[in-house]
Structure 1
Amino acid sequence: MKQESRKQEIINAAAILFKEKGYSAVTMRDLATAMGIKAASLYNHIQSKQEILATIIIELAEEFTTGMNQIVDSEKTTVQKLENIIDLHIDVTLRNADGLASLNNDWMHLEEDNLIYFEKMRQDYEENFRDIVKKGVDTNEIKPYNIEIIVFSTLSTLRTLYLWYPKQKDIDANILKKDMISVLLKGVI
């Protein structure tokens, strides 16, 4: 297994602190203390707390964007595309629940260029999701519910998975995927 770089260790530790306290409440001294090093040592690997936040959020947003673009470009049915989107969210959550807290809660603290870049990726992601749902309704692959309600309900659930799933001790990831796909796409009745 590949050993993490010191910079990645700092980013991972910061993601945990940002999740626990929020970006604004965390200081570089807090981060250094959590890592058991001097604050000055952090600057050998990173320039600022802002760099850490941008790295966490932009890398995750790009991962979601890449995944969505692959799904959009595929020749799969609407239902298969929606299943793939749910899989994407679950996979990212399982790998980086701490980083998702920053993506969802701290993105507004990004500096201008990164903020604009992130907002564009998020808007494009949502629009792609909306287009997939609309096509599914238009082709009768999915029920003709209000498209905005479908988009909101599904994305809200997927975006908050990072809060709920780490507390679940008895739910295997494969069961999570199977059951979440069934509940979100087929309902419970």
Structure 2
Amino acid sequence: MVIEGRKLEIIEAAAILFKEKGFSAVTMRDLATAMGIKAASLYNHITSKQEILSLIIIRLAETFTEGMNTIVNSDLSPIEKIEKIIRLHIEITLTNADGLASLNNDWMHLEEKNLEYFKNMRVAYEENFRSIIVDGVQEGTIQPYDIEIMVFSTLSTLRTLYLWYPNQKDINPEILKNNMIAVLLKGIL
């Protein structure tokens, strides 16, 4: 889904406000004020606050899904696939930390059709991740710990990276990727 021009500016400004205040607390007037325009002008580009939320969340969820599908369908080993997934999360976080706040915190405000679509993408994403871990355990390259704990621990860390990383001014993105891969795959021992 390609979004350009003024509509993209509106979505990016809204993502910042949603991250700061939460979707429910932000009004169209707040958004217009943040952009320095009249609220009525917003409606030349979008139909509602709900449309904005859907565009933010669905666009990011589709990006994650496309990335996961590419990784799953590759000939990489389970360890290499997990490394790619970690990199995918970090790259998306580095380019859209504000939107990730909505993806993680405001998805439940999506209207029914988009809510169901999002939930299905999320379940499929988690199931793909789980399958990669199971494959690694079965081939002996991943320790046979509880699968659900491994899925939860890894995805929870990656999903909340958007909260932590923006305050880490001295960490180079490549160091972040390499260190997170090492810590998530090998632990700190």
Report if TM-score (shorter chain) is over 0.5.
Answer: yes
Aligned equivalent of 2:81: 81
Return the TM-score normalized by structure 2.
0.98
- Matched residues, percent identical? 73
- Residue 67 of structure 1 aligns with which residue? 67
Report the CA distance between 1:38 and its aligned residue: 0.3
- Deviation track 1:123-175 (CA, whole Å, cap 9, x = no partner) reads 00000000000110111011111100000000000000000000001100000
| Alignment deviations for residues 47-85 of structure 1 (CA, whole Å, 9 cap, x no partner) | 000000000000000000000000000000010000000
Q: Report the TM-score, using the length of structure 1 for normalisation.
A: 0.98
Query: Aligned residue for 2:115?
Result: 115
Q: Are residues 1:187 and 2:180 paired?
A: no
Structure 1 stretches of 4+ with a deviation exceeding 3 A read: none
Q: Where in structure 2 are the equivalents of 1:18-37 lying within 5 Å?
A: 18-37=18-37
Tell me how far apart the structure 2 counterparts of residues 162 and 98 of structure 1 sit (CA, whole Å).
8
Q: Which residue of 2 aligns with 1:15?
A: 15
Separation in 2, partners of 1:176, 1:98: 19
1:168 aligned partner: 168
Aligned to 1:159: 159
Alignment coverage as a number of residue pairs? 186
Corresponding residue number in structure 2 for 1:106: 106
2:127 is matched with 127
Letter in 2 for 1:166: P
Paired residue type of 2:31: L
Amino acid at match of 2:96: N
3-state secondary structure, aligned to 1:150 = helix
Q: Where in structure 2 are there 5+ consecutive unaligned residues? A: none
CA offsets 1:76-129 (integer angstroms, 9 cap, x no match): 001000000000000000000000000000000000000000000000000000
1:172 partner amino acid: N
One-letter code aligned to 1:77: S
Q: Distance in 1 between matches of 2:36 and 2:25?
A: 19
